[in-house]
Amino acid sequence: MRGLETVAETAVLNTNYLLTKILSSGYFDMPYTKRRKHEFVISAKRLVEKTGVRGIDIAKRILDFGIHSPTIYFPQIVEEAMMIEAPETESLEDLDALAAAIISAASEAESNPEIVKSAPHKTSVRRIDEVKASHPKTIKLRWDTPR
């Protein structure tokens, strides 16, 4: 049972550490001020108003840093929501890298918004057309099985 307690404590610690680092950048707001447990939601609304760069743009840009992007637009009641989970298995270096990537993308939004809006640049699949993707009948999907 002690192992489960340690995992839970580490998840809460990691989450609050990451949240503090990201909020200290001044780019994001936290719509809910309750104590955080294993995840948190931030809003990129202020960044959108200032630069035109959306939460989805930030999420796609951090893919260029080799980091999995956060859940975006959930919960739906938060404008430009980004839900971030800091797993208990991540090292301090990994948490710092995630925070640095998010903050770097937000900083780029001010200095070079187009690089963020057109991201990702370093992945095998580039940005897809969101309108077409939301209407799958307009996209021809095919699964090729190896022969």
Give the E-state strand segments of the chain in sequence order: 39-43, 71-72, 81-85
The alpha helices in 24-62, defined as continuous H runs, are: 45-51, 55-61
pLDDT in tens, 29-59: 999 888 788 899 999 999 999 999 999 999 9
**Distance from C-alpha of 40 to C-alpha of 117, rounded to nearest angstrom:** 24
Segment 71-95 mean pLDDT = 91
CATH of region 2-138, choose from 3.90.1150.10, 3.40.30.10, 3.20.130.10, 3.40.50.2300: 3.90.1150.10
**Which pLDDT score is estimated for 134?**
67
Describe the strand order of the beta sheet including 71-72 as a list of residue ranges.
39-43, 81-85, 71-72
Domain ranges in the chain are: 2-138
Determine the 3-state secondary structure of 29 from DSSP.
strand
pLDDT at 147 over 60: no
- Percent above pLDDT 90 for the chain: 69
